[in-house]
Amino acid sequence: MSSISLQSRLPRTYRIKEIVQETEMVRTYTFDGSLGARPGQFLMCWLPGVDEKPFSVAFDDGSETKITFFAVGPMSEALANCNVGDLVGLRGPFGTSYEWDAGDHIVLVAGGYGAAPMYFVASEAVKHGCTLEAIVGARGKEHLLYLEELESLKHVSLHVSTDDGSVGHKGYNTEVLDQLLEAAADSDAKDPPIDKVFACGPEMMLQSVLTVSEKHSVPCQLSLERYMKCGFGICGNCAVDSSGARMCVDGPVVKAEDCKKISEFGKYHRDDLGKKHEF
Amino acid sequence: MQTPEHAMNLTQTILGITFENPTVLASGILGITSSTWKDVAKNGAGAITTKSLWIKEHKGHPNPTIIETEHWMLNAVGVPDAGPTKAREEIGDFMQKQPVPLIANIIAESIEDYGDIAAEIALLGPNAFEVNISCPNIEDEFGRPFACSAPDAAAVTKAVKAVCGNIPIFIKLSPNVDNIGEIAKACQAEGADGFTCINTVGPGMAIDLRSRMPILANKVGGMSGPAIKPIAVKCIADVYAATEGKCPIIGTGGVYTGEDALELILAGASLIGIGSAVSRRGPEVFSKVCEEMQYWGTNEGIDNISDMVGGMHKELSKRK
């Protein structure tokens, strides 16, 4: 089935068409339908009888949808136990997406499973004549995701960093970002200047991306993760202090200038009861 | 939209509180933090209602908790709340530079607990209480809501009234009864100052065809949205008649436009709760509904919105 569901606020069940075990804890599921998602948007995935949680879209080509997830809690662990042919409810797509202009030179900063939506960005942006620098970071070699897929795209240069130095730059991906922006700002640089920085990963990494991008005066777009329930802006669970912006509607992808209005950015997030938890 | 010279005045003063316009953020919608209350006030709401506050932390239901079509919304969020510490922090922050009146919605599992949470929250100085005795999606946990029995509803009213001092209380009624007027009268006799009509309808259920499973994790949920407006209008009219128009009503249920709001006002509402419509028209729905009410009223040559409250009842008695 490939028709786009118009009832985006009511889940509809799709069958799992393919399962790829990416790393020990990370899997990619392909579903037999498209919801018309753009890079950066998310879906609510419902496991009947268990729970429903938000997942960023790893790919949507108009006929099928992919999510890449880390089995981290009861819902995603139950999801990880599913098999090909099992039913998963999807509703969405929800939220904002990354925005670029044709021909842009973009740096992608991916931390952990943030690599999946960054691959989705790259695969769409190259169609608009963009050139991309993809920096993929993880704790170690065994946690790196989407390297082959990113490498297979024309006009995408891959940069890798690992905390333990098992492959690529030893250290944080934001250090690589700093080097790339520094080099591009050099008037003798052979590459065109960087137009935008997109990032998806842990919030402390995003905070660093914001700082580094601002230092080099390059606009950035960051994907923020907050506890979601409805997904369409009514329950208020994902609203951030102090702007009150709802991350399911006004996010998850937030531009630098809007991110700076979020006083809780890099400090705390709220749980399903609205209680604050520090990062 | 034209700017009329003598626009209808939207101000409502009831129970000693002045509301710049009659729109109120309904409880349970965007109501978790002071930041969102301020944002809703900035978007034109005449008052804010908090999400239901418990005397101790209360877990909600797993997801899916809110689903919607063009006709209806079903919710079984399960009234999650972190308890009084968070309430003190959020209400305290809001009250510092209070942009609009704050209505504190309270809920409890026993009559005694209603008194305790009301006493606790009264210390924070809300402009009014709304007492939630009518949530239809926590029946598995607590049984039939207090709002389904006149003696139970009256007992809760008495318990809250005993501890809330001068703060007026609105009892939030359930439409899922066959005698809402009598229930309102029983509460009025125990000192209820006003009513909120209505809480969600049903509960209802939705099933996914392929998995054959109910979609809401709680299986059932309270229904809201456009389809419930006629039920809200009928319940408001019943309560207004039963209490002889002496208890102001916050009319809530299926309001999306200014004309929807005016219909509830003619049935007897003084204020208008808006909830589900936030999902379709955004937080701007409050200013949009106000503009639409004012546009209609001004064209009709009405000076004050307060002149329209209970208008249907007055028209009916004129024709007797």
Which of A46, A235, A244 shows the shortest C-beta gap to B66? A235
Beta carbons of A236 and B31 less than 8 Å apart: yes
ipTM: 0.92
Taking alpha carbons only, the member of B32, B30, B161, B50 closest to residue B101 is B50
Tens digits of residue pLDDT in A227-267 = 999 999 999 999 999 999 999 999 999 999 999 999 999 99
E strand residue ranges, chain A: 12-21, 26-31, 42-47, 51-60, 65-70, 87-94, 105-111, 131-138, 156-162, 169-170, 196-200, 220-223, 253-255, 268-270, 276-278
Q: Which amino acid is at B230?
A: P
Q: What pLDDT is attached to residue A84?
A: 98
Please count the CA atoms within 13 angstroms of the CA of A82 that sit on its side-chain side. 32
Query: Using 50, 70 and 90 to split pLDDT, how confident is the model at A3?
Result: very low
A85: left (phi over 0), alpha (psi -120 to 50) or beta: left
Q: Quick check: A142 pLDDT over 80?
A: yes
| A40-47 average pLDDT score | 97
Q: What pLDDT is attached to residue B5?
A: 67
CA distance A243 to B35: 6
Q: What pLDDT is attached to residue A7?
A: 57
Q: What pLDDT is attached to residue B22?
A: 98
Beta carbons of A239 and B57 less than 8 Å apart: no
Q: Which residues of B touch A (CB under 8 A)?
A: 29-33, 35-40, 51, 57-60, 62-69, 77, 80-82, 86, 206, 208-211, 213, 215, 217, 275-276, 278-279, 282
Output phi, psi for A148, to 5 deg.
-65, -45
Beta carbons of B69 and A9 less than 8 Å apart: yes
Q: Quick check: A41 pLDDT over 90?
A: yes
Shortest distance between the Cα of B175 and any Cα of chain A, in A, equals: 22
Shortest distance between the Cα of A8 and any Cα of chain B, in A, equals: 9
CATH code assigned to A105-223: 3.40.50.80
Q: What residues does CATH 3.40.50.80 cover in chain A?
A: 105-223
CA distance A278 to A47: 29
**Residue B187 burial (CB count, 10 A):** 31
Tens digits of residue pLDDT in A78-103 = 999 999 999 999 999 999 999 999 99
B37 neighbourhood in chain A, CB within 8 Å: 244
Average pLDDT over all residues of chain A: 94
Q: SS in 3 state form for A179-231?
A: HHHHHHHCCCCCCCCCCEEEEECCHHHHHHHHHHHHHCCCCEEEECCCCCCCC
Does CATH place domain A12-94 in 2.30.40.10?
no
Mutation to test the A interface, candidates B25, B27, B29, B33, most A Cβ within 10 Å: B33
Output phi, psi for A112, to 5 deg.
55, -135
What pLDDT tens digit does each residue of chain B (320 aa) get? 455 568 999 999 999 999 999 999 999 999 899 999 999 999 999 999 999 999 999 999 999 999 999 999 999 999 999 999 999 999 999 999 999 999 999 999 999 999 999 999 999 999 999 999 999 888 888 888 999 999 999 999 999 999 999 999 999 999 999 999 999 999 999 999 999 999 999 999 999 999 999 999 999 999 999 999 999 999 999 999 999 999 999 999 999 999 999 999 999 999 999 999 999 999 999 999 999 999 999 999 999 999 999 999 999 999 98
Query: Using 50, 70 and 90 to split pLDDT, how confident is the model at A6?
Result: very low
Q: What pLDDT is attached to residue A191?
A: 77
CA distance A134 to B172: 55
Percent with pLDDT over 90 in chain A: 92
B135 annotated active-site: yes
CA distance A257 to A39: 20
CA distance A112 to A140: 10
- Hey, what domains does chain B have and what are their CATH numbers? 12-318 (3.20.20.70)
Q: What pLDDT is attached to residue B4?
A: 56
ω into residue B101 within 30 of 0, thus cis? no
What's the burial of A163, exposed, middle or buried (CB within 10 Å: 0-12/13-18/19+)? middle
Q: Quick check: A4 pLDDT over 80?
A: no
Q: What residues does CATH 2.40.30.10 cover in chain A?
A: 12-94
A237 neighbourhood in chain B, CB within 8 Å: 32
> Which spans in B97-249 are helix H?
111-122, 139-142, 150-161, 180-189, 229-242
Q: Which amino acid is at B176?
A: N
Shortest distance between the Cα of A78 and any Cα of chain B, in A, equals: 14
